[in-house]
């Protein structure tokens, strides 16, 4: 196992480094100290052919100009905050609006668009990187000096683990996730419509016209949002369900896990034989099928179009600070925010 590094670009007079973690089983993960962006995940298919299974750019400038959060850590708060406002202990905080009147993925200067301090780390039979970022009190409107660390570890079982920790000197809100777009066909040979998704979730969050949760949880039974027995993603892309149509003919929805504690999400693509098992301690996964990815640019030589990738954003419930019935995302000064998600790749398939 080894860690390689190379210069990838420059940002505000600082070097952008691409690090590549390489295991002994044919898998590698490349990532940047800018935004903790995962640029490539190289894994074998059923025939042993190693290909990239996430969307990313070859040039750093494209991440600045074009990227819809490809591979990045997003925060302080993932998802949307309604009207860019929230209240803590009777005080109303105004965070930066960057999607109409609403705040998305941490604002204009979110964790996806800053340089993180980086150091190599070793785990039990694993190698990795630990990223550090200090977000000063008031950055993007959030209260508290927040110190955040994110650790990427790769082992020889073709498993990448992502661990998050954060501490604040004031009461604040935190909800972190990784925003990788997966495409298990390898090197974007096909879109993700024939990917199969399976997870234990009985409810999903209803979205309003602005894609912010209304606060209502909808029963997933007998809808395109029921993934308990496995479902092709194109079921939602072709669905007339009002929530699928609202999201741009697909999914952009928080799926609430049926139980607390550790939960598993399985994603597979039959033609390549690749399966991804995502294990998380978070209460939901936001399923996004890149319904609005189409644009006048290319992704590693492939013209951008809708449905090229699928995001599995494990996190707390979006806009939880404005929904009293949702699990809290408030972080107190005496507490440590912790979250962990593992991504393990296999060369086999799950059935529908």
Cα gap 9→132, rounded to integer Å: 19
- The two tokens of residue 330 are 């408030």
CA torsion angle 181 71 61 67 (round to 10): 50
- The two tokens of residue 9 are 């670009």
In terms of DSSP H, where are the helices of the chain?
Answer: 60-65, 234-237, 242-246
Provide the CA 23 distance to its chain's centre, in angstroms: 23
Q: How does strand 103-104 pair with strand 117-123?
A: unpaired
Ramachandran sector of residue 234 (left: φ over 0; alpha: ψ -120 to 50; beta: rest): alpha
- The two tokens of residue 75 are 């925060």
Ramachandran sector of residue 280 (left: φ over 0; alpha: ψ -120 to 50; beta: rest): beta
Report in angstroms the alpha-carbon separations of 297 from 32, 57, 91, 128, 300.
21, 10, 43, 32, 10
Helices and strands (H and E) in the chain: how many: 3, 30
Which residues are within 8 A (CB) of 54 and not within 5 positions of it... i.e. 6 or more apart?
A: 38, 39, 40, 41, 70, 71, 180, 181, 182, 183, 309
Tell me the catalytic residues. 179, 313
Please list the residues that pair with 90 across neighbouring strands.
none
Cis ω on the peptide bond leading into residue 76 (within 30° of 0)? Answer: yes
């Amino acid at each position: 196992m080894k860690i390689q590094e190379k210069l990838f670009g420059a940002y505000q007079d600082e070097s952008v480094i691409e690090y590549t973690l390489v295991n002994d089983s044919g898998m590698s993960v490349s990532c940047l100290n800018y935004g903790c962006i995962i640029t490539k995940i190289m894994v074998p298919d059923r025939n042993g052919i190693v290909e990239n299974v996430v969307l990313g750019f070859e040039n750093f400038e494209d991440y600045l100009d074009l990227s819809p959060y490809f591979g990045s850590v997003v925060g302080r708060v993932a998802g949307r905050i309604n009207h860019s406002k929230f209240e803590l202990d009777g005080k109303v905080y105004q965070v930066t609006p960057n999607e109409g009147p609403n705040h998305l993925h941490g604002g204009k200067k979110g964790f996806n668009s800053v340089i993180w301090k980086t150091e190599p780390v070793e785990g039990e039979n694993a190698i990795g990187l630990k990223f550090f970022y200090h977000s000063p009190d008031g950055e993007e409107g959030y209260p508290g000096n927040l110190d955040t660390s994110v650790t990427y570890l790769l082992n020889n079982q073709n498993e990448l683990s992502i661990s998050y920790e954060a501490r604040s000197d004031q009461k604040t809100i935190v909800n972190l996730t990784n925003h990788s777009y997966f495409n298990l066909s390898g090197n974007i040979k096909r879109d993700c419509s024939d990917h199969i998704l399976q997870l234990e979730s009985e409810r999903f969050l209803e979205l309003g016209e602005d894609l912010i949760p209304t606060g209502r949880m909808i029963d997933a039974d007998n809808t395109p949002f029921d993934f308990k027995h496995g479902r092709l993603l194109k079921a939602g892309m072709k669905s007339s369900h009002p929530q699928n149509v609202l999201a741009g003919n697909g999914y952009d929805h928080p799926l609430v896990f049926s139980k607390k504690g550790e939960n598993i999400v399985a994603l597979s693509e039959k033609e390549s034989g690749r399966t991804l098992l995502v294990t998380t301690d978070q209460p939901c996964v936001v399923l996004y099928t890149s319904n609005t990815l189409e644009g006048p640019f290319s992704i590693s030589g492939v013209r951008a179009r809708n449905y090229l990738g699928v995001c599995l954003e494990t996190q707390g419930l979006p806009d939880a600070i404005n929904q009293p019935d949702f699990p809290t995302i408030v972080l107190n000064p005496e507490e440590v925010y912790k979250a962990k998600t593992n991504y393990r790749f296999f060369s086999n398939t799950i059935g529908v």
